Structure 1
């Protein structure tokens, strides 16, 4: 069944007390349960549905969309962990099952993991796989320093935050370069710092050079416009600067220098304020 795990537009073949049977491309049918019908449908109408298997491994169609389709990745939360596997919340009534044999490491209920949706060809049902490295490739050489890219933050380690790029490349934001809160499962624009020899990508949160300071300076201006005064200065504790602004002390001093040079701010002994016209 080529529709398994995908979003498909299928015509209604016939109705029953349980719902509507939709025509599959191989000549078979799949049930769209009554709860997913609005009551106005008729035979021949097309419905956009997601096809997977129910709790008894029978094909079923739903109009809900999961967090990931077949051969896609998503960061999912483990709802329940049993002796034989884990059940992940992927946005559907039936959870996505990750067998023990497909876990990269033991899971804990309530924690989030990077999961790829796959077909178990022994049972012809959809399963989750957390052994993501099996699906990773070396990043192409056009991942050059300074380039912007979209990344999915999927795991925090002692070294830093692991990032998925284009569903096939692995990146890393080093922990000592993170000066703002990051969430597992968050998607955001990142910037290439370096393409390593192993094909993995070192990433950073802000672009290099002058643009970096402009972004930080803009954040300082926003706070000053709202509060009028910012009680931070060159003798402030680095942790306090990081807590308030999400940036390093070095970055803060560079931004302040840029704003002062542009005559946007006034520097005082106990902080900074907007310059008066």
Structure 2
């Protein structure tokens, strides 16, 4: 049976119970034909229903392609995000588990990279142009909205997050405390993919409360006072200083209060840690 009236699969609807049977309840399809009524099986009811009651249900096609109802609704709110499992992949995309009786479609156009069965990923639940539920892996705006500044951690602490975005610069993660973490591309391994859970070491806390992490073990020596001072100055100046290792020693002294040789050592230290980029006329924090 195809979609009836305005009712379609992969949608959430409020329908009226018109009769009961041993199998379950039948919901009015709105066609005026009782043979089109939609079955809400006993197994798909979260609580008993009565004739005349309006119930909110998720509609899907059963194995015989009949439109069927379930009271098991998505565990992700509409336009909300969640960490979900990939149920299967097809030549059109993939289906993910959001708590409904059937998986929700993730088209290739809404993927970041490719996904595989049993992989966990971050997604946003939304309605497509035909009013059907769908998901997208593009959740960076939502993550920024819910993110909290990292106040309870310090440089050197361990922190764990799951990857929600991958760019040419590296991977972005969200921690259980809603802190945004960044892992530079130089530390990405073949086994790291979208949704991977990563435990890293905080190497820098940005002014906005986001943090840079590293998978490399802590070195015995600390970063050094001069390098820490340079990072602080960069942060205070919006992430960029118009000074390089070819700058005049007095200019370096006036700006940072350290010698040119100390400045060079600090720059070398931060470059090794992938915390800064060195340009022709300036040094910049890695974003």
TM-score range, shorter chain: 0.3 to 0.5
TM-score (norm 1): 0.46
